């Protein structure tokens, strides 16, 4: 579904982290943010803004 929508599947991540594992949650978020920054802006972002104008 993501590829069909034009969204790179690397932009979605699912993980299970217990509320008792705060350091692991921080690590997961940090890693995912780093991965998203490497991918750069979403190609859909500019298309979405054009539709609003």
**Between 46 and 6, where is the model more confident?**
6
Tell whether the model's pLDDT for residue 30 goes beyond 60. Answer: yes
Identify whether 40 is part of a domain: yes
Asked whether residue 13 is assigned to any structural domain, the reply reads: no
Q: Is residue 35 part of a domain?
A: yes
CA-CA distance, 5 to 34, in Å (whole number)? Answer: 23
CA distance 3 to 27: 27
43: nearest Cα among 7, 14, 12: 7
Percent of the chain with pLDDT over 90: 43
| 26 Cβ neighbours under 8 A, 6+ residues apart | none
Average pLDDT for the chain:
84
For the cut 80, the answer to whether the pLDDT of residue 11 exceeds it is yes
- 14 falls within a domain: no
Alpha-carbon gap, residue 21 to 51, rounded angstroms: 41
Domain that holds residue 48: 20-53
Q: Residues 34-49: pLDDT tens digits?
A: 999 999 888 777 655 5
């Amino acid at each position: 579904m993501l590829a069909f929508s034009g969204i790179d599947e690397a932009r979605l991540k699912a993980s299970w982290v217990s509320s008792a594992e705060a350091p692991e949650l921080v690590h997961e978020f940090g890693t995912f943010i780093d991965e998203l920054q490497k991918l750069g802006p979403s190609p859909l972002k500019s298309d979405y803004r054009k539709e609003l104008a």
